[in-house]
Amino acid sequence: SPYVQAMQELFRANTRSREFPAHGAKVHSVAWSCCGRRLASGSFDKTASVFLLEKDRLVKENNYRGHGDSVDQLCWHPSNPDLFVTASGDKTIRIWDVRTTKCIATVNTKGENINICWSPDGQTIAVGNKDDVVTFIDAKTHRSKAEEQFKFEVNEISWNNDNNMFFLTNGNGCINILSYPELKPIQSINAHPS
């Protein structure tokens, strides 16, 4: 239709997408820092990269090496724009400080990690692995506080902003809502029926 063609032309004329070489292999994850000035990426090449937003362009700040397998997901501290954490298939998570460009903590986990998130209060890091185990790690002591094995495929994890509910998406098309820190089921929403 003429309308669709006009919209496609408008989109093409006004889209300003750019490619930023970041890694030697496919990128698994990207995330913005809480201040919105840094973009981190994690890759199959076992590294993370951080870019700094300067006016209208991204400038590569640093590469972060240390994982023995792909960096499958990463996230930033919710209120400290200098800290981010990476989850890897090497059965570790690593906390990085962009001011020193160093890994400030490595935490061993029981499985190949595929997802990660930092609690809104900054006190806990949740990491999920391929065996559908979610481990809750104290962000200060770097020790496991709790571990939960789920009987379904866990695809994504997140807290609400009040830090009193924990959300999981699963392979059955549901969103599971749990109380936090008790991890008691509150509700299961059939979001994407198969």
Widest pairwise Cα distance in the chain: 61
- Using one digit for the tens of pLDDT, what is the confidence trace for 30-55? 999 999 999 999 998 999 999 998 88
% of the chain at pLDDT higher than 70: 95
Residue with tokens 């104290």: 138
Question: 15-24, 55-64, 69-78, 145-154: lowest mean pLDDT where?
Answer: 15-24
Per-residue pLDDT averaged across 16-41, rounded?
82
Q: What is the pLDDT of residue 27?
A: 76
102 and 58 in contact (C-beta within 8 Å)? Answer: no
The number of distinct structural domains making up the chain is 1
Torsion sign (Cα): 133, 174, 44, 17 = negative
Per-residue pLDDT averaged across 98-107, rounded?
96
The answer to the question of residue 110 being in a domain is yes
Q: What is the pLDDT of residue 162?
A: 97
The answer to the question of residue 88 being in a domain is yes
The answer to the question of residue 173 being in a domain is no
- Using one digit for the tens of pLDDT, what is the confidence trace for 109-129? 999 999 999 999 999 999 999
Mean pLDDT of the chain: 92
The answer to the question of residue 40 being in a domain is yes
The answer to the question of residue 188 being in a domain is no
d(CA 94, CA 108): 9
The answer to the question of residue 16 being in a domain is no
Select the more confidently predicted residue: 18 or 50.
50
- Using one digit for the tens of pLDDT, what is the confidence trace for 52-79? 988 878 888 999 999 999 999 999 999 9
Q: What is the pLDDT of residue 184?
A: 97
Nearest to 88 by CA among 106, 61, 102, 76: 106
Per-residue pLDDT averaged across 139-158, rounded?
96
Q: Give residue 127's domain range.
A: 22-156
Question: Concatenated DSSP letters for 69-125?
Answer: S-EEEEEE-SS-TTEEEEEETTSEEEEEETTTTEEEEEEE-SS-EEEEEE-TTSSEE
**E-only strand ranges, the chain:** 27-32, 38-43, 48-54, 57-64, 71-76, 83-88, 92-97, 102-108, 113-118, 124-129, 133-138, 144-149, 154-159, 165-170, 174-179, 185-190
CATH of the domain at 120: 2.130.10.10
The answer to the question of residue 183 being in a domain is no
The partner residues of 51 in beta bridges, in order of sequence, read 39, 60
Q: What is the pLDDT of residue 179?
A: 98
128 and 116 in contact (C-beta within 8 Å)? Answer: yes
The answer to the question of residue 176 being in a domain is no
